[in-house]
Amino acid sequence: MSEPLVRIESLGYRYPSAESDCLRGVDLEIEPGELVVVAGRSGSGKTTLLRACCGLVPHYHGGEVAGEVEVAGLDVRDHGPAALGGAVGLVAQDPETQVVSTTVRGELELPLEMRGSSPAARARAVEEVALALAIPQLLDRTVDTLSGGELQRVALAAALVGRPRLVLLDEPTSQLDPVAGDELIALLRRLNEEWGMAVVLAEHRLERCLTAADRVVAMAAGRVAFDGDPEGFLAWALRTDGALATPGARLFDLAGLGPPPVGVKRARGALRRVGIDAPRSPIGPPATNGANHRGPPRPADPALDARDLWVELDRGDSPSDVLRGVDLAVAPRERVALMGRNGAGKTTLLRAAAGRLAPVRGRVSTPRGCALLAQSPTDLLVRERVDEELPGEVGRRALSAVDLGWAAGADPRDLSGGERQRLALAIVMAGRSDPDTLPGLICLDEPTRGMDRARKGELADRVGELAGKGAAVVIATHDVEFAASFADRVVLLGDGGVIADGPAADVLSGGWYFATEVARILGVEGTISAAAGAELLRARLVRE
């Protein structure tokens, strides 16, 4: 029997200045060629576990370590990230912090140069990984011109280019559109099967990746709370922590059906066995007819008013139009999900609304002001302590509003990705949540990176509170399930223009990619939530 690729025994870890351990008595083995999904709430220890497997803990982060970690036969206490680099590749939660070269090609060549690979071998490896990740057109781009999704794929390519035995990925689909996210999971499965590469994938959007997993490890309060197959994990999650269950599992549970299905295909098969036939394929993509394209009537007093909006960006070679004639109005109190593929123009639209980019044609206005939370929370975190980022009574109230009062004395860089995201939101909204100070428009760009479903639910509640006070809230997101939880309207961008604009229940059902898991299982237009789907199933079962 082969030796495990990763062997962890009684691992405990505490970050510097932290009041408690982040990992507690972790015992875990990962075999060569396994694909393991690591699940758990925000702050449960997932990211720290990955850092321990590549030597960042403790060699980069410091802190107190107990127990043993051995990777590819190397003791992590004696071998840091550089020594482990030939065997382990890491894609961090914040890829913008891990890219160090000026160009994409330079970023991919760097690990090969450090290993002494020949020029021919470097060129072949860069070309292969660029083709595998569909980024050959990015090779000669400078990294500061990349979108968040493009940057995430470049970071993954840099981790894979040396063909490591183990690749660790922390929320790798968080900034990818649904198509690119599905393609990434398929690629990881193929690399796992054809190259024999072990993959450890920490994710919150489990509906995307459970069908590819051999095994699921669930973390809770720094410990391994579950270790088993995906089917067993979903049953455990429904019993123990419903926030970790997929929408399909919650659909079956609420409808009184079992066992919980792993993925859409198995869910449809289970429904056929009880006499309920879903359509063979979804009804079709979101409608793009003229009425839907135009969206609702333009309000008399819009919080956001864009008319024939054109915005141009220079991606390093020559300026190009990123927004092309966008006409969009958002009324006070509206909750809008702004969706579309990577590069469709979502971030550019939000930045233009906030006055960060000037139109080359047309205009955009926010009569009662705009607050923008940008895509990267680390851009806002410049102090050594959380309470220094948000001093005084206003800061304490802002931290309390996002449930981070306990972290006042912590270093922001030691927080989990979801916690940093909530901290950035608190910084943007500090002192601006009362009706007298509330901006007319609040724009959030991919705010759920690193958040578990429960925290996303809290954010959705917060969005509802802000809208109830009179603000319009526009959130750019690739997370279809999150969009379904907060939005009353979805605007879908494609190639710099609005291609669909309508009620969330219409746009997020009846499609292939921009549809919730429940909508894809049931194939019923307008049914996008587990609760609504379960009600429909119960009625069908009674009739049968």
* Sequence spans of domains, the chain: 290-522
What would the two tokens of residue 92 be?
């961090």
What would the two tokens of residue 26 be?
């972790």
User: Do 260 and 249 touch, CB atoms closer than 8 A?
Assistant: yes
Higher pLDDT, 544 or 227: 227
- Please determine, for residue 220, whether its predicted confidence score (pLDDT) is greater than 70: yes
- Please determine, for residue 211, whether its predicted confidence score (pLDDT) is greater than 80: yes
- 387: closest CA among 423, 432, 421? 423
Three-state secondary structure of 101-135: CCEHHHHHHHHHHHCCCCHHHHHHHHHHHHHHCCC
What would the two tokens of residue 276 be?
């309920």
Residues of the chain above pLDDT 70, percent: 96
What would the two tokens of residue 42 be?
């925000």
User: Do 523 and 278 touch, CB atoms closer than 8 A?
Assistant: yes
- Please determine, for residue 89, whether its predicted confidence score (pLDDT) is greater than 60: yes
pLDDT in tens, 462-475: 999 999 999 999 99
- Please determine, for residue 544, whether its predicted confidence score (pLDDT) is greater than 70: no
Average pLDDT on 104-126 reads 94
Q: Which of the four pLDDT bands, split at 50, 70 and 90, describes residue 278?
A: low
Q: Flag the least confident range among 259-268, 349-358, 382-391.
A: 382-391
Q: Which of the four pLDDT bands, split at 50, 70 and 90, describes residue 333?
A: very high
- Please determine, for residue 291, whether its predicted confidence score (pLDDT) is greater than 60: no
Question: In a 3-state reduction of DSSP, which class is residue 460?
Answer: helix
- Please determine, for residue 188, whether its predicted confidence score (pLDDT) is greater than 60: yes
User: Looking at residue 414, what is its pLDDT?
Assistant: 80
Please list the alpha-helical segments (H only) found in 178-229: 178-194
Q: State residue 69 phi and psi, 5-degree precision.
A: -135, 125
User: Do 488 and 263 touch, CB atoms closer than 8 A?
Assistant: no
Helix H or strand E encompassing 88: strand 88-91
User: Looking at residue 512, what is its pLDDT?
Assistant: 82
DSSP per position, 341-385: STTSSHHHHHHHHTTSS--SEEEEE-TT-EEEE-S-GGGG--SSS
Strand 64-71 and strand 74-75: the pairing is antiparallel
pLDDT in tens, 349-360: 999 999 999 999
User: Looking at residue 147, what is its pLDDT?
Assistant: 77
| DSSP E strands, 134-188 | 166-170
User: Do 246 and 526 touch, CB atoms closer than 8 A?
Assistant: no
Average pLDDT on 476-483 reads 96
Helix H or strand E encompassing 235: helix 230-240
Query: How far, in Å, are 33, 177, 539 from residue 401 at the CA level?
Result: 44, 29, 40
What would the two tokens of residue 526 be?
């307008």
State the amino acid at position 536 in one-letter form: L
* DSSP category for residue 86: T
Question: Edge-to-edge strand order for the sheet containing 361-365?
Answer: 319-330, 304-314, 361-365
Average pLDDT on 276-290 reads 51
- Please determine, for residue 330, whether its predicted confidence score (pLDDT) is greater than 50: yes
Query: How far, in Å, are 105, 157, 220, 275, 464 from residue 110 at the CA level?
Result: 9, 12, 36, 56, 46
**Whether the bond into 439 is cis, omega within 30 of 0:** no
Q: Which of the four pLDDT bands, split at 50, 70 and 90, describes residue 450?
A: confident
State the amino acid at position 340 in one-letter form: G
Q: Output helix, strand, coil percentages for the chain, rounded to the nearest 5.
A: 40, 20, 40
State the amino acid at position 283 in one-letter form: I
Query: Between the CA atoms of 21, 238, 404 and 441, what dihedral angle is there, to the nearest 10 degrees?
Result: 150
- Rounded Cα distance between 85 and 231, Å, is 33
User: Do 247 and 53 touch, CB atoms closer than 8 A?
Assistant: no
Q: Which of the four pLDDT bands, split at 50, 70 and 90, describes residue 207?
A: very high
| DSSP E strands, 256-318 | 304-314
Strand 361-365 and strand 304-314: the pairing is antiparallel
| DSSP E strands, 151-303 | 166-170, 198-202, 215-220, 223-228
Higher pLDDT, 181 or 492: 492
User: Looking at residue 475, what is its pLDDT?
Assistant: 98
pLDDT in tens, 511-536: 888 999 999 999 998 999 999 999 99
- Please determine, for residue 284, whether its predicted confidence score (pLDDT) is greater than 60: no
Q: Which of the four pLDDT bands, split at 50, 70 and 90, describes residue 457?
A: very high
User: Looking at residue 316, what is its pLDDT?
Assistant: 62
Furthest CA-CA distance within the chain: 72
* DSSP category for residue 147: -
What would the two tokens of residue 536 be?
């429909």
Average pLDDT on 405-433 reads 87
Cα atoms found within 13 Å of the Cα of residue 162, Cβ hemisphere only: 24
User: Looking at residue 233, what is its pLDDT?
Assistant: 98
- Please determine, for residue 287, whether its predicted confidence score (pLDDT) is greater than 60: no
**Whether the bond into 332 is cis, omega within 30 of 0:** no
Taking the mean position of all CA atoms in its chain, how far away is CA 128? Answer: 26
User: Looking at residue 247, what is its pLDDT?
Assistant: 97
Strand 64-71 and strand 6-14: the pairing is antiparallel
Query: How far, in Å, are 243, 252, 450, 532 from residue 247 at the CA level?
Result: 10, 9, 18, 11
User: Do 360 and 378 touch, CB atoms closer than 8 A?
Assistant: no
State the amino acid at position 531 in one-letter form: A
User: Do 262 and 231 touch, CB atoms closer than 8 A?
Assistant: yes
- Please determine, for residue 288, whether its predicted confidence score (pLDDT) is greater than 50: no
CATH topology of domain 290-522: Rossmann fold (3.40.50)
User: Do 101 and 143 touch, CB atoms closer than 8 A?
Assistant: yes
Residues of the chain above pLDDT 90, percent: 70
Instruction: Please state the pTM of the whole predicted model.
Output: 0.89
- Please determine, for residue 295, whether its predicted confidence score (pLDDT) is greater than 80: no
